[in-house]
Structure 1
Amino acid sequence: MSTTIRKRFAVPLSQTTLVIIAGALILSAAMGIRQTFGLFIGPFSFDRGLPVTLIAFAIALHNLVWGFAQPFAGAAADRYGSAPVVAFGATTFAAGLGVAAVAPSGPMLIVGMGLLVGIGVSCTTFGVVLPAVGRIASTEKRSMAMGLVSAGGSAGQVLMIPLVQSIRLNSGIATSLFVLAFLMLLIAPLGIVLDRRANVGTQVHEPPVAPLRTVFAQAVRHRGYRLLTLGFFTCGFQLAFIATHLPEYLTLCHMPVGLGATALALIGLFNMAGSWACGWLGGRFRQHHVLGWLYLIRSVTIGTFFLLPKTSASVVIFAAVMGLTWLGTVPLTSGLVAKVFGTRHLGSLFGVCFLSHQIGSFLGAWLGGLVFDLTGSYSLLWEATVAAGLIAAMLHFPIDDKAVSTPAVHPEPASA
C-alpha cells in the first residue's frame, strides 16, 4: 500500500526536467536583461544629457522596488501559482523597458527602468522561480536543483550582453531596449510550466504547516534567519555595484573599449559553473559554511583586483573568479531557508530575506554613481565592498541550520 502511494505522488523525471528548464529560461531572460543596464550609463549620459547620478539612481531604484515587491510576489505565487505572477511580471518588465526606450527625461527613465522594471523582476526571478523548483525536489536534491536553475539562468547574461552591445552600437539605445522588451514578452507563458508540478507530490516532503503569519513570526525570532538576512545585504551591495559601474570604471582605467561588456559576459559565463557548483556543495556541506567561504573569496578577489594594476588579463581573471561566486549565494540562501522552515511558505520567507539583498543592491548601484559624481573616483565603493564581504562571512558561520518545528494545522473534525 505504501509503495502504491509513493508511486502516485512520485515526481516524474520529465516533469522535473521541464520545470528546471522553464525556470532557467525565465531567469535567463529577466536576469540577463537587467545585467545589461550598466552598458546604458554612458550612452544615456552622452546621448540624452542625463547626469550619471540620475541614471544610477534609476538602475538602483529597480533593485529597491524589486526587494519591496518580492515578498508580495512570492506570497502570490505561493497562493495562486506561478503562471499569473510570471505573466504579469514579464508584461510589466517589458513595459518598463519600453518606457525607458522613449524616455526624454530623468523622471520617465526612473518610472520605466526603476519602478516598472523593479516590479517585473520581482515576479520573474528567484523569489517566484526557485520556490517552484524547490517544491518538486527531494530534500537531498533541492540544493542541486536550485543550483541548476540558477546556472541555466546565467546563460542570459552571457547572451544578452554582447547582443545588447551590438544592437546599441549599430541601432541606438531605443532599439536595443525594444528588443529586450520583446524578449521579455516571449517568456510570459512559461509560468504555466512551473505550475505543472506545483501541487502534485508536495505532501511527500512535508506535513501540513501553520499559516504564514505563524511561520513568519517564528522566522523573525530565529537568530539564524536574521543573520542570513543581514548577510544577504552584502551580496546585493557587491553585485549591483560591480554590474552597474564596472564598465565605466574600466573606461576610467583606460582599458580597451568593450572590455567592460566582455567582463560582464565572462561573469555570466563563469556564474553558470559557479551556481551549479554552489548547489552541489550545498547538498554535501552545511550551506551556511559554504556561504561564509563564498563571501571571503569574493572579498579577497575584489580587494586584490582593486589594489593591483589594471590589465586586460587582470580584468579577465577578476571576471572569472567573480562569476564563480556571483549568484551561488541564491540557491544556498533559499535552500537554507527551506531546510530550516520548509517549502510551504518559501516564496514569502525568501522574499523577505531577499528584500535585504535588494536594499544592498540599491545602495551599491546608487552610491557608486553618487560617490563618483562627488569625488570623481570609485575608490570608496571598492573599499566598502571588501569590508561588507568580510562582515557577511562572519555573520554566516555561526548560523544555526537545524530545522524548526512549526505547529501544524489540523483540520476540524467533520460534523455528523
Structure 2
Amino acid sequence: MKSTDYRLTMKRWQTPIVVLLGGCLISLIGFGARSSYGLYLGPITEALGWSRETYALAMALQNLFWGLCLPIAGILADRYGPVWVISGGALVYAVGTFGVTIVDTAVGLHLAGGVLVGTGVAFTAFSLATAAMLRVVGVERRTFVIGLCTAAGSVGQVLYSPITQGMISGYGWPIALIVTAVSVCLIVPLAFTLPSDPRVRNENVVHTDSFGAIREAFAHRGFMLLTAGFFVCGFHVA
C-alpha cells in the first residue's frame, strides 16, 4: 500500500495534539472500563447465586479473546484504518458490558462478559490508538507517545476503580455496568480524531505490513521471552 503524508489527507482540525488527546482518551476509557470488572465478582455472584468460578471463567474467556482478537484488530486497522475498527470494537464492548446486566445464565455471562467484552477490549486496545498516534509524530517522539498512551491507560484504572465501586455501593451493580457501557460508547466519536486513511504514514517512520511485523516479532528473542513470561504471571493476574 502506497504511503501518504498525514498532512495531505487529514482534516485541518486533526492536528497532532488532537490526535494524541483522542488516542489517550481511548486508551483511558478502554483500559479503565476493562479493569473495573473485578469489582463485580462479589455483587454479581451473590445476586444471581453463581459460584465465583462461574464469574472467573467469564473473565478468563475475556482475557483469551482479548489476546486472540488483538492481532486481527491490528491487521484490520492496518488495512482499513483505525477509525472504523476502533468504533466497531467500542460498540461490541458496550453491548457486551450492557449484556451482563440482562443475562440470567452462566452461558450468557460467558458470551457477554467473556467473548463480547474480550473482543471489544481487543478492538479498542491502547496499542491500536498508539499505532495511530505514531503516524503523526516523528521518530524522536515515538517513545514519548508510547509512554503517554500507556500512562493514559493506567490513569483509566485509577479513575474507573473508585468511581465504579462508588456506583456499585450507591446504585447497584446493574446501574454501574450501564454507566460503564455508556462511557465506552464515547470511544466512537473519539476514534474519529485519529487518521482515518490507512495510507497515512509519517515519512520519518519505517513501516512494514502486518504479516511482516508478525514475522519480525517471532524472530526476536526478546519478544519470545516476553510471551513465555506472560504464562508465568500475566495469565492468572490479568
Q: Same fold (TM over 0.5)?
A: yes
TM-score by length of 2: 0.86
Q: CA RMSD, aligned part only?
A: 2.6
Q: Aligned residue for 1:180? A: 180
CA gap 1:217/1:205 in 2 versus in 1, 3 angstroms? closer
**Distance in 2 between residues matched to 1:108 and 1:167, nearest whole Å:** 23
What per-residue deviation string (whole Å, max 9, x for no partner) do you get for residues 360-404 of structure 1?
A: 2xx335xxxxxxxxxxxxxxxxxxxxxxxxxxxxxxxxxxxxxxx
Q: Is the 8 A contact 1:15 1:197 kept in 2?
A: no
1:218 deviates by 4.0
Which of 224, 227, 230 is residue 225 of structure 2 equivalent to?
227
Q: Aligned residue for 2:40? A: 40
Question: Which amino acid counterpart does residue 224 of structure 1 have in structure 2?
Answer: G
Q: Aligned residue for 1:70? A: 70
TM-score by length of 1: 0.51
Percent identical pairs in the alignment equals: 34
Question: Which amino acid counterpart does residue 122 of structure 1 have in structure 2?
Answer: A
Q: Residues 34-113 of structure 1: matches in 2 within 5 Å?
A: 34-113=34-113
Q: Residues 230-309 of structure 1: matches in 2 within 5 Å?
A: 230-234=228-232, 237-238=233-234
Question: Which amino acid counterpart does residue 229 of structure 2 have in structure 1?
Answer: G
Q: Aligned residue for 2:156? A: 156
1:182 deviates by 0.9
What stretches of structure 1 of length at least 5 have no aligned partner? 1-5, 239-359, 366-416
Question: Which amino acid counterpart does residue 222 of structure 2 have in structure 1?
Answer: G
Q: Is the 8 A contact 2:31 2:126 kept in 1?
A: no
1:200 deviates by 4.5
What per-residue deviation string (whole Å, max 9, x for no partner) do you get for residues 131-183 of structure 1?
A: 11222222221111111122223332222222211221122111111111111
Question: Which amino acid counterpart does residue 364 of structure 1 have in structure 2?
Answer: V
**Distance in 2 between residues matched to 1:175 and 1:40, nearest whole Å:** 12
Q: Is the 8 A contact 1:136 1:198 kept in 2?
A: no
3-state SS in 2 of match to 1:167: helix
What is the aligned length?
A: 231
Q: Is the 8 A contact 1:73 1:127 kept in 2?
A: no
Question: Which amino acid counterpart does residue 176 of structure 1 have in structure 2?
Answer: A
Which is bigger in relative contact order (C-alpha 8 A, separation at least 6)? 2
**Distance in 2 between residues matched to 1:108 and 1:219, nearest whole Å:** 36
**Distance in 2 between residues matched to 1:232 and 1:140, nearest whole Å:** 29
**Distance in 2 between residues matched to 1:114 and 1:214, nearest whole Å:** 30
Q: Is the 8 A contact 2:26 2:190 kept in 1?
A: yes
Q: Is the 8 A contact 1:86 1:189 kept in 2?
A: no
**Distance in 1 between residues matched to 2:154 and 2:212, nearest whole Å:** 35
1:19 deviates by 1.3
3-state SS in 2 of match to 1:194: coil
Q: Aligned residue for 1:125? A: 125
1:197 deviates by 8.2
Question: Which amino acid counterpart does residue 153 of structure 1 have in structure 2?
Answer: G
Q: Is the 8 A contact 2:135 2:200 kept in 1?
A: no
What per-residue deviation string (whole Å, max 9, x for no partner) do you get for residues 274-303 of structure 1?
A: xxxxxxxxxxxxxxxxxxxxxxxxxxxxxx
3-state SS in 2 of match to 1:103: coil
What stretches of structure 2 of length at least 5 have no aligned partner? none
Q: Is the 8 A contact 2:75 2:210 kept in 1?
A: no
1:187 deviates by 1.7
**Distance in 2 between residues matched to 1:19 and 1:198, nearest whole Å:** 15
Question: Which amino acid counterpart does residue 124 of structure 1 have in structure 2?
Answer: T
Q: Aligned residue for 1:412? A: none
Q: Is the 8 A contact 2:134 2:145 kept in 1?
A: yes
**Distance in 1 between residues matched to 2:109 and 2:100, nearest whole Å:** 5
3-state SS in 2 of match to 1:59: helix
Q: Is the 8 A contact 1:132 1:198 kept in 2?
A: no
Question: Which amino acid counterpart does residue 79 of structure 2 have in structure 1?
Answer: R
Q: Is the 8 A contact 1:70 1:123 kept in 2?
A: yes
CA gap 1:212/1:74 in 2 versus in 1, 3 angstroms? closer
Q: Aligned residue for 2:136? A: 136
Q: Is the 8 A contact 1:21 1:149 kept in 2?
A: no
Q: Is the 8 A contact 2:64 2:118 kept in 1?
A: yes
Higher-Rg structure is 1
3-state SS in 2 of match to 1:154: helix
**Distance in 1 between residues matched to 2:129 and 2:202, nearest whole Å:** 16
1:216 deviates by 3.0
**Distance in 2 between residues matched to 1:225 and 1:167, nearest whole Å:** 40
1:87 deviates by 0.9
**Distance in 2 between residues matched to 1:83 and 1:177, nearest whole Å:** 25
What per-residue deviation string (whole Å, max 9, x for no partner) do you get for residues 105-129 of structure 1?
A: 2111111110000010001112311
3-state SS in 2 of match to 1:136: coil
Q: Is the 8 A contact 1:83 1:189 kept in 2?
A: no
